[in-house]
Chains A and B, each alone.
Chain A
Amino acid sequence: MKTRLFALAIAVLAALAWAKDEPKPPVDPDAEAQRLLAEKERQKGVARFGPDPAFLVFPRPLERKETPKELLTEEVQAMIAKALAFLARTQDADGGWTDKQWPSNTGVAGLCALAFMAEGSQPKVGVYGSNIDRAMEFLLKNAQSGGYIAGKGSNAYGPMYEHAFSTLALLMAQGDMPWRPQTKDVLDKAVQAILNAQKLDGGWRYEFGNQGHSDMSVTANVIWVLRMAKKNGYTVDSTKIKKGVKFIEECSYPDGTFRYRKWGVHAEPSLGGIGIMAMASDGALDHKLIPRARDRIAYDYRRYTVDDLRQRNYIVYQCFYASLAMYAVGDEYWIPFYRKAVKLLKAIQKPDGEFEDEHGNNIYSTAMAVMILQAPLGYMPIYER
């Protein structure tokens, strides 16, 4: 025992000595200016240029760090490769995907296309360029005359979720897909359909129509998509977004948690991330609820074990929104979150690369999981800094 302890002590000392003597990487003399400007920008916070709060500019990094490289370990890369391969081989002939509950669902197809875009592919360009292109064809084929993009496998409650994800995927591909000139028209109508579907309480719900009560999850998703539409050159009435954000605020508790419905009581842990994204969509990253929601997510992923988190409903779905939010609030929160998320997703991933939810759906969840894993690449504008 003594010998082992002694050997351990020697090993620790040697490791310390090695760490001390390890040559440091060269220091960039030009980095000083970047650091100073970054510090100044951080003092000011997220900057808004022009009259529209959609166009946020996040402060630049304080220093040049290759943290993304460190986060994308070989193990993570293998997880990503398997998941993307799974999505590629499960794509239907018509360009869509068939999830257990949502066959040929446009929302699922939109998410899959976004997952491939997060890898760096674009329509017809890159490893998964053809997959994206076929997915876009699928989405455009499912564009309905009323403006919404939804097919036969839509949610029984209404197609707003799939419409939002489809619109988002088309928005992300629009600028790199000149051979589909109809995209602009489809998106024009899609955005208009969302705006027309705003309910009187300020939010959105599954169905298109402004009657009834909204829910926080759909509303937050829609606001987020509207913001991306604004960045793509679509005119979106800012008062509509403000009303939507107000609805989100009404669904919040002061501790940064959110209720699914305005009159509800139970706070859903899955809604923290999308709550932050919704508030950021109105250019309010300094909103008083954001630090609380952020800390709540950070606490959850610090406090609970992987097994605890796996027990939650739609854990990949909530992890996806949490990842968008934590990425935006900075490395201090993002890095520990990402590491825990990797552990969580590793526990969920099956040998063939898929991530299955508690209802047996394995496409949308795989798409969301692989977007979370690929976030360090920084190739997806929905992950914003």
Chain B
Amino acid sequence: MKPSLLTHDALVMFLVILGLGLVAFYSLLSRRESKMQRRLLPWQVLLMRAMRVGVAVLVLLALARPAISLVRTEERVPVVALVLDESTSMSFPEARENPLAQNRPLERRQRFHTAQEVVMKIQDRLALTHRVKLYAFSDALKLYKEIPLRESDDAPALSQNEIFPEEFKPTGEYSNVGDALTDTLRELSNDRISGIVLLTDGRETGGAKIADVAQVLETGKIPVHSVATGSEFPLRDLRIDEVIVDAEASLGDVASFRLKITNQIANPLETTLTLYENEKKVSTKTLRLPRGTSFVAIGAVMETEGLREFRLSLPKQPDEVNVENNEQVVHVEVVKRGLRVLLISSTPSREYFYLVPALLRDPILDLRCFLQTADVDYTQQGRSNLERLPKTTQDWDKYDVVILYDVDPNGLESSMIAGLEATVSNGAGLLVFGGFNHGTARLIQVHAAKMRGLLPVEIDKNQVLDWEKAWNKPFKVRRTPAGKVHPITLASTNEKFNEKIWENFPEFYWVHPVKGVKTKAVTLLERDGPREEGGGEPLVAIHRYGRGAVLYSAINGMWRWRFPAESYDYDRFWSGAIRYLGQTRLSGTQQNVLLQTDRRTYAPGEEVQITLRLMDPALQSQIEGQQLYADVMLPSKDLQKVPLKPEVAGAPTYRGSYRPREVGSMLLHCKQAAPNADSEAKPLFDVKHNFHVRMESLEDRDTSANLEGLQALSEQTGGTYWDHKNMQDVATLVDKIPSEPQVLSKEVQIEVWDGTLFLVLFLLLVSAEWSLRKWWGLL
């Protein structure tokens, strides 16, 4: 005890005044009684005065409220907070490697069950030395249970059912881990916290960041012992995220289904992808998937016309959390369409020998050949015999793509070339080879009016082929920047594979001389090497001609690409080129525009990044200066316009963004007409792309445990860290929590005047003084 007198500065003046008042009162009283006091003896007077002074002193003391301040200290048992995550992510399966989970029955292998088991393992011992407060949190913290202190080991500990009744399940929609720790500190601000045991998967969905709260805890020297449930990998799930397939497919052709698959099962996972149609197995593919996202393709040959429904399925995996997403159903409209191709060649050159079977192998190409040097009664090659060349525009219009392979210009009448020009202008494709026999210069000499305009390259018509010299020096060919991204010269959509294929592109010995390319034409392949040795000379170029396209090849030895992959690369190249040239006829637009979004599925409010990429610079020059828009068709059929702006001025990429406000399937549509085109004219391009907007639970977004974050939290705050790798020893966590008692200091004030003794003394003095005055006849 530490006594002390209490004084109040504010009262000093008041007490002085009061004292002076009393002195004045008693002085007046003494003067009035002074005559009568003469009869009193001196000791009587002194006694009277002493009593009066005593009363005055008591009054003054009462008014001054004297008190004694005492500081009391006491020892209390420290607190341990068990902070338990009760968000829905805790109902996810525990890591298969977790030894605690392995010992539990299958139905009790949730993360939440692990957390419960850890609580049960530590609470009985903790309750001997600590006040154990069990908090639960999701979006907010709440005291779930106080576990009573146990006096001794003999005292019974709470049972599992007493702490965690069956109805206690993780149902929270959020995991605000940082907020929970902050709230715990506030809740226990008056207590000594020996430690916080945090039982969670650590995956935050909002609130204060764990890293920020860790600094506060470190400053407060409060260790957080993290017990991490779950594993560093997302939940065991194998799912088909999306299936990309063209809405239409040609009869007899392959419909390619491109799948984005997420493997959260094993690394790698061997499984089988199956394609069904009407529950009938159409195709299967064995997959070896690395952990994470993979892109795979499976296809089927379309053999029946009409709208067909396909189901893509992956088998259920052991302990898989969601098997519904192992399947997706898509629809494909199979239509009978093909490209009619006419190949006119002067002589049966080596290229001709290999080009014909390459095009005949393509199921959608209906090839007819016309060999100009063939016998008159010769049965021309192709899917059907062609007896004579087309003459009128109507005749030419029966073909979607025409190939002029080193043609003898004298074998083609001017009216034929006029018909060809009209049909290309109308949307057909034209492929012209500069060959060794007649050459393009002669073709231009004979048919200058139309051929010069049709070609994407400039040919010197006076530069006739020199047959006197020999060509025994090989040269290499390189892709131009445009050629590296152009669909014709894109051997594979996989960048690595594409590069690998082009690494094997052969060397050549002969090339048809080309003076240059036209302004709006695009060079795809050019001669490699320094300029003085012909480097940069255009070899393969393309341009748009009206609604059609013309491809020119100054190389006639592409057959050399048959090594090292035999006909594989060679066939695909020409098949792709012919399909590209005929695309206008197939779908009314060139396949030279890519409309994409950064993802296929979004949550409402998320930004959808839209990209429109023009693959053909010639097309870009046609629309330069025009404002492009993408229409978003909402599930309600309403349309919203999104402006698309060039990435940088003159770049072939246009971008825009859109934030969806409703859920459902959205269709992006981008269409652009040529400048000054009439309303009946077909657009330059007309592309569509769809994406989906759906509600996504924050808890489901990332199902892996944040082991790194929890470990960092424990390390920073001086706590211990537990996860599935060391969970078997989690009971020793108790030993890491200090059990020193909490020492509490409390200041107590005792007011001296406020007591019976003081009152009695006051009354005694007042009544005695009055009685004596009465007795001595002073009243």
Contacts and interface: CB of A to CB of B under 8 A. Distances in A.
Contacts of A178: 347, 436-438, 465, 467
Contacts of A14: none
Contact of B497 (A28, A130, A379): A28
Interface in A104-153: 120, 122, 124-127, 129-130, 133
Given A37-B363, A57-B361, A176-B436, A235 B381 contact: no
Contacts of A37: 254, 301, 361, 363
B569 A64 contact: yes
Contacts of B298: 32
In which size bucket is the chain A interface?
A: 35 or more
A91 B565 CA distance: 33
A86 interface: no
A313 to B, nearest CB: 33
B472 A130 contact: yes
Contacts of A51: 379, 385
Interface in B461-477: 465, 467, 469-472
Interface string A261-272: 000000000000
A34 B565 CA distance: 13
A156 B436 CA distance: 39
Contacts of A67: 566
Interface in A46-64: 47, 49-52, 55, 57-61, 63-64
Interface string B344-368: 0001111011101100110100010
Given A68-B566, A378-B562, A36 B299 contact: yes
B286 interface: no
B379 A61 contact: no
A47 B361 CA distance: 9
Given A176-B349, A234-B378, A377-B563, A30 B357 contact: no
A50 B384 contact: yes
A129 to B, nearest CB: 5
A231 interface: yes
Given A233-B378, A378-B566, A129 B471 contact: yes
Interface string A175-195: 110110000100010000000
B472 A40 contact: no
B728 interface: no
A174 interface: yes
A32 B375 contact: no
Interface stretch (B488-496, B524-532, B534-542): B488-496
A352 interface: no
A68 B469 CA distance: 32
A25 B494 CA distance: 12
Interface in A217-244: 231-235
A29 B568 contact: no
A50 to B, nearest CB: 6
Interface in B412-469: 436-438, 465, 467, 469
A29 B296 CA distance: 6
B749 interface: no
A234 B380 CA distance: 10
Interface string A14-43: 000000000001111111111111001100
Nearest to B562: A378
Given A28-B492, A126-B472, A50 B382 contact: yes
A176 B383 CA distance: 25
Given A25-B500, A50-B379, A174-B347, A40 B301 contact: yes
Contact of B567 (A28, A32, A66, A385): A385
A126 B356 CA distance: 23
Contacts of A49: 360, 367, 381-383
Contacts of A133: 470
Contacts of B467: 124, 178-179
Given A68-B563, A174-B347, A378-B562, A33 B299 contact: yes
A125 B474 CA distance: 10
Contacts of A125: 436, 470-472, 509-510, 557
Contacts of A36: 254, 283, 299-301
B373 interface: yes
A30 B295 CA distance: 11
B563 A29 contact: no
B350 A233 contact: no
B564 A26 contact: no
A69 interface: yes
A175 B347 contact: yes
Contacts of B510: 125
B391 interface: no
Contacts of A385: 566-567
Nearest to A382: B353
Nearest to B386: A50
B297 A64 contact: no
A64 B568 contact: yes
Interface of B: 253-254, 256, 258, 283, 285, 295-301, 347-350, 352-354, 356-357, 360-361, 363, 367, 371, 373-375, 377-385, 436-438, 465, 467, 469-472, 492-494, 496-497, 500-501, 504, 509-510, 557, 559-560, 562-569, 571-572
5 contacts: A26-B497, A36-B300, A37-B363, A235-B378, A381-B354
Interface of A: 25-37, 40-41, 47, 49-52, 55, 57-61, 63-69, 120, 122, 124-127, 129-130, 133, 171-172, 174-176, 178-179, 184, 188, 231-235, 376-379, 381, 385
Given A31-B492, A36-B299, A64-B568, 20 more contacts: A25-B500, A29-B296, A29-B297, A30-B256, A30-B494, A32-B254, A32-B256, A33-B254, A55-B356, A57-B357, A57-B361, A60-B568, A64-B569, A68-B563, A69-B563, A129-B472, A175-B437, A234-B378, A381-B353, A381-B354
